Amino acid sequence: MKLKAAVAIGALVVGASAMQVAAQDLRWRTINVIVPVGAGGGSDTYARTILPVMADCLGTNVAVRNVPGDGHLLGIGQAHRSNPDGHTITVFNLPAIPITQLSRGEDAQVDIRDMTYVGTYGSSTLVLYAHPEAAENIDDLMALYEGGESVIGAQDRVGGGEVITHVMRDQWGLDWQELVVYDGGAQLVAAILRQEVPGGVTTDASGQSAVGSGQLLPIASLGAERSPLYPDVPTAEEQGYEDLSALGFWLRTVAAPPGMDEERLAAMEACLEEAVNSDQIQEWSENTGNPVMFVGAEATSRSAAEAFRIIGEIPNFDEIAGN
Amino acid sequence: MFEALGAAAAVTLQPDNIWYAILGFLIGAVGGAMPGIGGPLVLTLMMPFTIGMSPESAMILLIGAYTGGQYAGSIPSILINTPGNSSSAAAVFDGYPLAKQGEGVTAIAVSATASGIGSILGGILLILIAPLLMQLVMLFGSPEFFMLGVVGLAVIVSISRGSLLKGLIAGALGALVASIGTSLIRAQPRYTMGIPELYDGINLVAAFIGVFAVAEMMRLAGQRGGSIAAALSKTGSRIKGIWWTLKEWWTLLKSTAIGIALGVVPGEGGTVAAFVAYGEAKRSSKEPERYGKGHPGGLVAADAANNSVISGSLVPTLAFGIPGSNQAAILLAALMLHAVRPGPDMFGADIQLTYTMILAVIVGGVATLVLGLAFAKQLGLLSLVPTAILIPCVIVVSMLGSYVLAFNFMLTLQALVFGIIGYTMIRFGFSVVPFILGLILGPLAELNLSRTVQLAGDQNVIWFILQRPLSMILFLIILVLLFSDPIKRLLKSLRQRRNS
């Protein structure tokens, strides 16, 4: 790991242009990108937009393949078992996928801890939303549940949304009784709009349109910093509640099979950084509201390990996972 | 309103945009006609090519592809008993029997006319009542979704061919098979036998390919020679198809209304719409016994609803950023790619772009009518291909189609298993239609019943459901579906007794 880190840091120091020459010296074939979700969603859009620019920097192109199934683990598993020659990579979110993997226990078909992390190219901040008639801040929501309200919404079963909602109960004392699970962020937002549930957690982008309508209120950013989409909405910590950013700030990561050649990893990492910082991707990010950010291989690998540690410490995780 | 509509019309009717609409329609139609490829994948692949276009042109191109895919999904339903996508499944029921009777061209003409008129009327209706539809989106909560699932299951009673008991058994079996996978309620795997590929449950499109295409090819293989069409000299006619559709004008109007109303319901509505429209057409028909055996009304209902869903699905997508269908989810991503943020302004300050999108649906409807009818004859000839050639071709396309759904042989295996299930059902006189309905609607009803029980808390669940106005309306619809036929039969026998 130390050697990998040293190489990664070294690669950053050398600089992007030099790396581009080196990358081309490595002779890249078409890079197969396995997207472990169906076509059209956020993960697919990010991969199809940013990774071709990365491949262009490497002097090659990408072939994107959607392999949905088993809560993303099917596609990631295929990438995990591929040849670690840099020509197969996959994309997934932290800490959502560690949650899925740990919930499967020994039945999980892949262990993402030993994957080769290329880096992070995007992020999403989880936001606690409420109906405007229900609450304007976390204090209001706490009072609502103390007053007898029992239900809260979640965007997924045994995913980042559900787990953080349980942690809010354990650590903040948000006293909900029934967690109603919906099929994704959009469906959760719809449920809040029609006041079926008073609130729930989903990503900042999922609620953006409904917030614009005035019928949905973002009441707290669950990341360490405010969401760039809602700069006026304070974080949970700013409102005096325990920081949950380890679970509330999602990283969109790029990973390769375990044991990838370090030279190729360094070249790919540098080109991912160049792609994220390119005018084309920055403009796309600005136009669409999809945040992009680059985090290097070593830091991303550390984030993955940290995600596993934090999830492992959630006291009733087995109960949440239905085990 | 009229000013914005006029400006939108001026944009839509620009020669460039008309070409985009036609190009989109053709690309969508080619993809939509291939089982396993389907509309959503085609739209996703097209999306990056719209970068650099104006938002209006991009939407016109993509909506053209949406309408093309939606229409063309019915072509394999009619010709080879295989729906191109899940919402085209209801077109199989009467489309394929028509092709077998030597009316392949007629059936495609019926499908093109009903689809085209469904899109056009759906678009016009949307322009007129969009604000009302926005209210409808908010009325559909978990109890209403549950009742909608039950409405769909009640349709089994009216569309079962032959024995009602067999229909109910097939429906229950479908719902049971649908429960395979990780339960969304308790997160536990059910009937997965430790196979990771089953954790996400049964893939609906693979199941359709199996139950319809593989099973039918197995049945055809058991017959000697010939082709799908019983009468080799006949393929039907376009004029007849148009005339048959127009004769079913009331079914056309009703099904369009059902399509647009259920298209508005986020997520699940579109799939249910064609089945509900089909069930209603059969229930209210004077000759229900002909449904499922090649009644044009069945095809008109399925295709009109399937295409008017497009307009309905735009409402929650544009107003709240909540997609009404898979294709609408991709339109949403494309809008954001072009820096357009959906929200209520789409029905206020930005209404011109919304009108442009609705007019694109109408242009797509016109393209369906013109191009669908123009190529009906050539497509209809496919039903004359000898079965010795057709069977291996369809099996290869089916296996390939099921594989490309997720590039996973497990889905090919699923299609084969469902082929055997479908063939067994056909051999023993079970209709596969209730099985498919159970498969689609079982999870919808189960999940939303579970949510409803959670939401009801200490209240009585039945009372919690029935005190909601829309749930009550859906409950009354269920009663009509379940009991109108027996009551009609009872009244008829009473009348006969009195007369005798």
CATH number for the domain harbouring residue A71: 3.40.190.150
- DSSP line for B22-85: HHHHHHHHHHHTSTTTHHHHHHHHHGGGGTTS-HHHHHHHHHHHHHHHHHHTHHHHHHHS--SS
Shared-domain flag, residues A40 and A62: yes
Taking the whole predicted model, whether its pTM rises above 0.90 is answered as no
Beta-carbon neighbour count of residue B498 at 10 Å?
7
Cα dihedral A66, A70, A75, A78 in deg (nearest 10): -150
More confident residue, B192 or A259: A259
For residue A95, say if its preceding peptide bond is cis, omega within 30 degrees of 0: yes
A9 confidence band (pLDDT: 50, 70, 90): very low
Query: Is residue A186 within a helix (H) or strand (E), and if so which, with residue range?
Result: helix A185-193
- Contact state of B341 with A213 under an 8 Å Cβ cutoff: no
Q: What region, left, alpha or beta, does residue A179 occupy, with left being phi > 0 and alpha being psi -120 to 50 degrees?
A: beta
Q: Is A100 on the interface with B (CB under 8 A)?
A: no
**Amino acid B160: pLDDT:** 65
Chain B CB contacts of A200 under 8 Å are: none
Q: Please judge whether B320 and A190 are an interchain contact, meaning their C-beta atoms are less than 8 angstroms apart.
A: yes
The Cα diameter of chain B in Å comes to 77
Q: What is the pLDDT of residue B406?
A: 66
Contacts of B40 in chain A (CB under 8 A): 38-40
How far from B470 is each of B146, B475, B477, B499, CA to CA, in Å? 12, 9, 11, 41
Query: pLDDT at residue A5 above 50?
Result: no
Based on the domain organization, do A90 and A140 belong to the same domain?
no
**DSSP-derived secondary structure for A115-160:** SEEEEEEEEEEEEEEE-TTT-SSHHHHHHHHHTT--EEEESSSSSH
φ and ψ of B442, to 5 deg: -55, -55
Of A19-23, A105-109, B148-152, B449-453, least confident by mean pLDDT is A19-23
Q: Are residues A234 and A287 in the same domain?
A: no
Contacts 24+ apart (CB under 8 A), A162-168: A162/A320, A163/A99, A163/A247, A163/A311, A163/A314, A163/A317, A163/A320, A164/A126, A164/A201, A164/A222, A164/A244, A164/A247, A164/A248, A165/A200, A165/A201, A166/A314, A166/A316, A166/A320, A167/A244, A167/A247, A167/A314, A168/A128, A168/A201, A168/A244
Q: Backbone dihedral region of B85: left (phi > 0), alpha (psi from -120 to 50 degrees) or beta?
A: beta
Q: Domain check: are A215 and A135 in the same one?
A: yes
Distance from CA of B267 to the nearest CA of A (A): 8
Chain A to chain B Cβ contacts (< 8 Å): 142
Average pLDDT, chain A: 85
Q: Can you give the residue range of the structural domain that contains A276?
A: 2-115+255-315
Q: Does A12 touch chain B (CB under 8 A)?
A: no
Is residue A322 domain-resident? no
Q: Residue A3: what pLDDT?
A: 42
Do residues A149 and A201 share a domain?
yes
Checking if the pLDDT of A19 tops 70, the result is no
| Mutation for testing the B interface, residue in A163, A209, A290 having most B CBs under 10 Å | A209
Q: Stretch A119-125: mean pLDDT, rounded?
A: 92
Percent of chain A, pLDDT > 90?
Answer: 45
Q: Within a domain: residue A27?
A: yes
DSSP A178: E
Q: How sure is the predictor about A182, in pLDDT bands with cuts at 50, 70 and 90?
A: confident
Element containing residue A221 per DSSP (H, E): strand A217-221
Q: Do A111 and A260 belong together in one domain?
A: yes
Question: Helix or strand or coil: residue B112?
Answer: helix
In whole angstroms, give the CA distance from residue B33 to residue B83.
8
> How many structural domains is chain A composed of?
2
B267 and A183: CB-CB below 8 Å? yes
Q: What is the pLDDT of residues A217-253, one digit of tens each?
A: 999 999 999 998 899 999 999 999 999 988 898 899 9
d(CA B293, CA B61): 37
Host domain of residue B349: 2-499
Q: Which residues of A touch B454 (CB under 8 A)?
A: 151, 178, 180
CB contact under 8 A, A109 and B200: no
pLDDT tens, residue order, chain B (500 aa): 678 888 889 988 999 999 999 999 999 888 877 766 667 777 877 877 787 788 889 999 999 999 988 888 888 888 888 777 777 788 888 888 888 888 888 999 999 999 999 999 999 988 888 777 777 777 888 998 899 888 888 877 766 656 778 888 998 999 999 999 877 666 677 888 878 778 778 888 788 888 888 888 888 888 776 666 555 446 778 888 999 999 999 999 999 999 988 888 766 666 688 888 998 898 888 888 888 888 999 999 999 998 998 888 888 888 777 776 777 877 887 887 777 777 767 777 778 888 999 999 999 999 999 988 888 777 766 666 777 888 888 888 888 888 877 677 888 999 999 999 999 998 888 888 788 888 888 888 888 899 999 999 889 999 999 999 989 998 998 888 788 777 877 888 888 888 87
* DSSP string over B351-419: HHHHHHHHHHHHHHHHHHHHHHHHTHHHHHGGGGSBHHHHHHHHHHHHHHHHHHTTT-HHHHHHHHHHH
Residue A133 forms part of a structural domain: yes
Contact flag B139-A157 (C-beta cutoff 8 Å): no
Which pLDDT belongs to residue B423? 93
Residue A88: its H or E element: strand A88-94
- Count of structural domains, chain B: 1
Cα dihedral sign, B211-B217-B220-B226: positive
What is the reported pLDDT for B478? 87
Considering the domain boundaries, does residue A233 fall inside one? yes
Report whether pLDDT(A301) > 90: yes
Q: How many residues does chain B have?
A: 500
- Can you tell me the distance from the alpha carbon of B454 to that of B459, in angstroms, rounded to the nearest whole number? 10
Query: Is the model's pLDDT at A127 over the cut of 90?
Result: yes
